[in-house]
Amino acid sequence: MAKAAAKSDLTERLLSGDKRALAKAISLIENDDPAGWELVREVYPKTGKARIIGLTGPPGVGKSTLIGALTKEMRAADRDVAVLSIDPSSAFTKGALLGDRIRLSEHFLDKGVFIRSMASRGALGGLSEATLQAALLMDASGKDDVFIETVGVGQAEIDIVDHGDTVVLVLMPGSGDSIQALKAGVMEIPDIIVVNKSDHPLTDTMVREIRGVLSLGPRVSWKVPILRTEAAKGEGVAELAEKITEHREHIESEGTLEERRARNLRNEVLELAAARMRRRLEGTIADDPSVSELLDRVVRRELDPASAATELLERADG
Ligand SMILES: Nc1nc2c(ncn2[C@@H]2O[C@H](COP(=O)(O)OP(=O)(O)OP(=O)(O)O)[C@@H](O)[C@H]2O)c(=O)[nH]1
Ligand SMILES: [Mg+2]
């Protein structure tokens, strides 16, 4: 009874936009506490209003600085902002978080801004699920814009930003690996590309290269803009904020926002189910000595992997 009351109190406070309640709720998710999942279940019908904006790109290109500058723009337009930084490289977590604290420091005392970092460990279904749950909580707490920052040039981080309504790829002169990843199709084409640190002499070359890669892609109704910014000075940031709004309006009017969200949510359900299934299978392996025996038979080449998988699934079902 007392516990139920405490829970609904947290829900109420979260829905009313209380920052501490939001922080507490995200910690529950991060610690894989069932109360966190329960909370998301309760507030889910109230979500879907915020703009979810993913920013991704190689380390050190200026993503956090850019988000800090964008936050300033959004606050000037009287929008409430949440920032979620995902840090998959836990080894560097401390330094990166400290850096972000400095870069976003001017917003820490602002009631309309909520900033949170998340490390990659724990959480059912892994980081990308925890990220989505946290974004849902931010959305439910009444934020107008939710920025999700992920580091990288590869696949995993794109999975995360996939949850975004608008995906911004941030590069800087010299981010050649990302161009290669785009060219090779390893990385999905983002909605907006930013070349930050545009005071660098190689900026024009970089923009040309990106344009070249984009021209190879299919022609679609949204032409991916390539913007130049100098986040540290706030230059080009207003234009970026404008493009984000434009993109949002575009996908809303084309109906692709609904499509995109439907696709993301379907994937989400499948990923969660798959993660739970995997846990269950691993549990079977741990609990049932005959399953380890089954795996040993594969190692001894008495049983092929596919047949063993069939048997394993049968046992987990039974
Ligand atoms: N010269 C220059 N430096 C910048 C600019 N924007 C950011 N920086 C600097 O680049 C460094 C990295 O900036 P961050 O915003 O932390 O970059 P990040 O992409 O968030 O970095 P990670 O999260 O560690 O991947 C900082 O020292 C910034 O001050 C810019 O436009 N020009
Ligand atoms: Mg950062």
Query: Tens digits of per-residue pLDDT, 12-37?
Result: 999 999 999 999 999 998 888 899 99
DSSP line for 249-267: HHHHHHTHHHHHHHHHHHH
Q: Which of the pair, 109 or 1, is modelled with greater confidence?
A: 109
pLDDT greater than 50 at residue 79: yes
pTM summary value: 0.87
The string of pLDDT tens digits covering residues 131-156 is 888 999 999 999 999 999 988 755 55
Give residue 38's identity as a one-letter amino acid code.
E
Pocket of ligand 1 (CB under 6 A): 59-65, 96, 99, 103, 151, 196-197, 199, 230-232
Burial call 205-237: b when 16+ CB within 10 Å, e when fewer: ebbebbeebbeeeeeeeeebbbbbbbbeebebb
Q: How far is the CA of 132 from the centre of ligand 2 (A)?
A: 19
The span from the CA of 7 to the CA of 28, in Å, is 12
Instruction: Please report which confidence band the pLDDT of residue 95 belongs to, taking 50, 70 and 90 as the band edges.
Output: very low
Helix residue ranges per DSSP H, 77-155:
93-103, 127-140
| Closest-lying ligand 1 atom to the alpha carbon of residue 57 | 19
Instruction: Please report which confidence band the pLDDT of residue 313 belongs to, taking 50, 70 and 90 as the band edges.
Output: confident
The pLDDT of residue 271: 81
The span from the CA of 318 to the CA of 313, in Å, is 9
Residue 274 Cα distances to 76, 127, 132, 158, 290, angstroms: 42, 14, 16, 19, 23
Average of pLDDT values for 213-238? 93
Q: How far is the CA of 64 from the centre of ligand 2 (A)?
A: 4
Candidates 61, 65, 157, 206: which one to mutate for ligand 1, based on the most atoms within 8 Å of Cβ? Answer: 65
Q: How far is the CA of 105 from the centre of ligand 1 (A)?
A: 14
Whole-number CA gyration radius for the chain: 22
| Closest-lying ligand 1 atom to the alpha carbon of residue 60 | 21
For the chain, the first-to-last Cα distance in angstroms comes to: 36
